[in-house]
Structures are given as structure tokens and as C-alpha cells.
Amino acid sequence: MVARMSDRSVSDRRGTVSGLMEATSVLQEQAPWWQRGVIYQIYPRSFQDSNGDGIGDLEGIIGRLDYLAWLGVDAIWISPIYPSPMADFGYDIADYKDIDPRFGTLADFDRLLEGAHRRGLRVLLDFVPNHTSDRHPWFIEARKTRESPMRDMYIWRDPAPDGGPPNNWPSEFGGSAWEWDETTGQYYYHAFLKEQPDLNWRNPRVRREMYDVLRFWLDRGVDGFRVDVMWHLIKDAEFRDNPENPDWHEGMPPHKKVLNLYSADRPEVHDVVAEMRAVLDEYGGDRLLIGEIYLPLTRLVTYYGRDLQGAHLPFNFHLILTQWDARHIERQVQEYEAALPEGGWPNWVLSNHDKPRIAARVGRDQARVAAMMLLTLRGTPTIYYGDEIGMDDVEIPPERVQDPFELRVPGQGFGRDPQRTPMQWDTSVNAGFSTAAPWLPIAPDAADYSVETERAHPHSMLSLYRKLLALRRRSEALSIGRYATVQSSGSVFCYLREWKEERYFIALNLRPEPAAIVPPDKCRIIMSTVDDREEERVEDALRLSADEGVIAAMEA
């Protein structure tokens, strides 16, 4: 079916934004690096091992900086590399101001930073302020006695009258979020593992100490942070029970049985975020604050903060969470665009270390369309390592499971190991990741989907990503330009990106059957996810094959 899109839907949108257009275009030309830039997430255990222990490390990342520069990303965000017992693979930190020996040393980190900066790559660290490891010296001290000077760094409560946990808050990894401490006769709160006690962010000392951590890394030269579970930092002062979730059903994680109304997203959290932002701003204004936030759009956008003094980028996971069809995605994008505060810069994430990979969710052919979407929507994109070569989730035999979530709630598909397997570099042993047995299995199809193999193929996923990244870099319209809606039709999600005279029409067929759509004007194809269609002129209907995405330049 060929649907003709009404020019009205385009111009309506233009009408509503036109007043702002002139003013914003002047500002946008000086867009900060993170608005034009593309972020690449590295899960350090799985990126590149350099010392033959089967676990990735900083030296390994240093050795791959040339690859990242060649690929054309602008910043790397590295999941936690600090000393940790690894109960949650680094999201349980025992020392915020050092590097875990498994990953290297502070000197290695400084070399990584220098090497990245020399290549024009920014470096973002993962900051995990909601909880420490239970082996952190603060917690070791805090649990000694009720009178410990560190006691109030964490969240302690007396038992309920029946002796049970103080309230019904669940741990995200299963079971109660309250752990009984025999020595001091109180419970402590942990939103995740019991090895990850939550810090008490109502305590000014916690704030001071943690802001010092930020300064420690900012002084070394890091370009910003991705803040773990930002919306969790403050809990209800009265610790009220969470209400039941009427929509919970089998197949959903157990902690979703209640709505985390009182355990997260409390109004006071915004003061903390603004304080973190102020610390970054002490360093001149181009350090980036990203918040990991899983919330509905209208709540998510509150994390930009009053007068945009909160997170620069509250991570938007709605491409991960939304049903993959044109109607749902179009609606999400429009709702997001409409919900953004004035001047708030959007962002999009397609995969991460906590969710199934995009190739596993939509299939490898459709993942190419997803790549085009990620890199042409308005907003900073985040690419998860390996998605650029089409890595798939890997089945993990039970005896090789590592993820504490899977170990605690087994067999229900919540495990995160499948999307954390080693990066596939080449066709040598262990896909070039390590000379030793890797901590997680290598994908069985690693030889076909590796950097080395795909570099040689002009139509590989890697070549597609590289072309998209290069195009985005040279195009103001695609990087910082306006987004304008064009009504989608059937399986085709489409939109315009515009900057001055430069206008692109993007049409994405989200289904494995051919489709067609009529662009608002004549245009010339400049890129397709499936064929060499460059220079093809579109006078009327734009025909798309199954799983095809197209970028077309509008004729003036």
C-alpha cells in the first residue's frame, strides 16, 4: 500500500516550532560536543583482555582506541572499573578513587584518558552513588555498632512489629530489599544485592564524600559521568509500603509486584542531581552528566532539572522498552519530543548491558534499520559495544552463568550474561578477545560477525554503522537539526531532519515485508540499509524492501 503523507502534518509541526527556530538555530550552532556527539558504551570485562586472564582491562581498551576513532564515535562510557568484590560485576564499589587490579592501575587509566583525548575521544565514567559494596570501609565500620560514626551513611531500620522487614520494598534482584544484621539488631536497605547496601543520601556527609569522588575523576580529566540508578537515590522519609502493581503478571520480574512509588523518584532527588551538576559545572561547563533512569517519559524529563540545571541527558530507554512497530515508536518519539523541556536535549539508547541486544530483540536485518533510526533521530545516540557488528545475545549454559540476577531468579530470562559476552574482534582464538578462556562464552557465530570480517565487507553492519556515523558527523541536519514529523504509514516510520537548506527524509520499514511511502517532496536517496541505491531519485512513491531503511535528501 502506498500512503500519501499530508504535507500538513509537516507544516503543522513547523508552524508550532517556527517561532523558536531562529532563536535556537543561533544557539545550536555552538552546540556542546555531547549534542553532536555519539556515545559508545564499553563493558570493560568484555571488551579486550590484554593480560591473558580472560577478563577485559584498561590496557585492552587502550589498544582499541584506534578502532573507536576509526569507527567514528565521539565518547566512550566505561562501565565501572573501580576496586570491587564483583558481586554485581563492578556495580558494587569498595573504593571510589582507585582502579580494580583486574582492570589495571590509575596510571593505566591516565594513559587511557590521554590516548583517548589525543584521538578526539571523550571519556565518561560510570558513577555508582546509590550503593557501595558491603566491603566498602564505610559499611564495614557502619555495621560494627549502632553508635558507629559511619552508621548513618547507610539506611538502617528497626524490624516491623512482627520482627520481619520494616516494609514491603523488594530488591530488584529478588527477595526483600532489607537484610537483617545480627550484630546490631537492625535491618539495612539494599535496592539490589545485599552486598550492595544503599547509601543514605539524606546525610550531608554522604553528599560531600560522593561529590569529592566526582572531583577526584574530574581533576584527572574525565569528561563526565553516567550516574547509576539516578532516580533511586532518595527514598521516602517515612518508608511507607509501596502499593501493589495491578498489572503484574507471571513473566515479569518479582520486584515489579509493587510499584516503586516510595522507594524511588522522590521529589528531593532533584536537589541531589542539581548538586552533582553544580560539581561538574565547576569544571567549565563541558563535562557531561547522564542519568540512568527507567521511568515513563513525563517523569523522565523532570531529570533535566529546574532551568535545565539537572542531568544533561536523562537516559532515554524507550527504544528498548517500546513495542517495535511504526505506530508505537512514532508515538514514543512524538511524546518524547513534546515532553522535553524547552532547550532540553534528547537522547536515545538502543541496547545496554542490562537488556537484550537489539539484534536479539528485532533480528539482525531489522537491527540495521534500528541503527539508522538511532543515528538519525534527534538526540545523542548511545551505541552498546558489539551492536555495531551485529552481535547477538549468546545462550549461556547453566554452569557458566555469572549474573547475580540470573543466579537469584533463575530460568526466567532475566539474566544479563547473554548481552555481555566478549567483543568479537577477529577469527583467531576466542575471537581475538583473550588468549585465555574468557569469563563468558564467545558467540558461536563470532567468526562471521567480527570486526575483522566485517571491515572487509562494504555491506556489513560495521560498514553501515561507520557510514551512518560519518554522514551524521558531516550533516548539521542529522546531528543538531530539527525533527519534524511526517505521518508514518503501515510498517514505515518516517520523519524529517532539517537544518537551514539541508533537509533529509528518513523512511524506516520496521517489518520484513516490502512497503512503500510517498515523501513530502521529490528527493534523492543517499543511503539505504540494504542496497546501493545512492543517487536514486524518488519522484513519487519510495519503495522499500523488507527491513529497509532509507535516508533521502529533499530537493530544495
* Cell, residue 476: 548539521
Of residues 273 through 332, those in contact with ligand NOJ by CB under 6 A are 292
Q: Which residue is nearest to ligand NOJ (CB)?
A: 91
126 touches 77 (CB < 8 A) = yes
For 281, the 3-state DSSP assignment is helix
Does 134 interact with ligand NOJ (rule: CB under 6 A)?
no
When the beta carbons of 82 and 91 are compared against ligand NOJ, the nearer one is: 91
Which of 49, 88, 265, 393 is in the footprint of ligand NOJ by CB under 6 A? 88
Helix axes 106-118, 204-220, angle to 10 degrees: 60
Q: How many residues does the chain have?
A: 556
Figure out which of the listed residues 228, 265, 454, 547 binds ligand NOJ, where binding follows CB under 6 A: 228
User: What span, in angstroms and rounded, lies between the C-alpha atoms of 136 and 138?
Assistant: 5
Strand segments (E) across 12-102: 39-42, 75-78
Q: How far is the CB of 290 from ligand NOJ (least distance, A)?
A: 12
In the complex with ligand NOJ, which residue's Cβ is closer, 192 or 504? 192
Q: Is residue 236 within the footprint of ligand NOJ (CB under 6 A)?
A: no
Catalytic machinery residues = 228, 282
Q: How far is the CB of 172 from ligand NOJ (least distance, A)?
A: 7
Residue closest to 76 by CA, chosen among 54, 90, 61: 61
403 lies in the site for ligand NOJ, by CB under 6 A: no
In the complex, least distance from residue 353 CB atom to ligand NOJ, rounded to whole angstroms: 6
Query: Which residues lie below 8 Å from residue 27, measured CB to CB, with a gap of 6+?
Result: none
Please select the residue that binds ligand NOJ; options are 10, 123, 128, 300, rule is CB under 6 A.
128
User: What cell numbers appear for 131 in the block?
Assistant: 550503593
What's the min distance (Å) between Cβ of 518 and ligand NOJ?
42
CB of residue 399 to ligand NOJ, shortest distance in Å:
22
Selected from 229, 264, 468, 527, the binder of ligand NOJ by CB under 6 A is: 229
Instruction: Please report whether residue 551 would count as binding ligand NOJ according to CB under 6 A.
Output: no
Q: How far apart are CA 127 and CA 148, in angstroms?
A: 26
Torsion over CA of 448, 451, 455 and 459, rounded to 10 degrees?
50
Partner residues linked to 496 by β-bridges: 484, 505
Using rule CB under 6 A, residue 91 touches ligand NOJ: yes
Nearest distance, CB of residue 197 and ligand NOJ, angstroms: 12
Retrieve residue 183's grid coordinates.
550484630
Contact 128, 228 (CB under 8 A): yes
Q: Looking only at residues 334 through 363 of this chain, which bind ligand NOJ when binding is defined by CB under 6 A?
A: 353-354
Contact set with ligand NOJ (CB under 6 A): 88, 91, 128, 192, 228-229, 292, 353-354
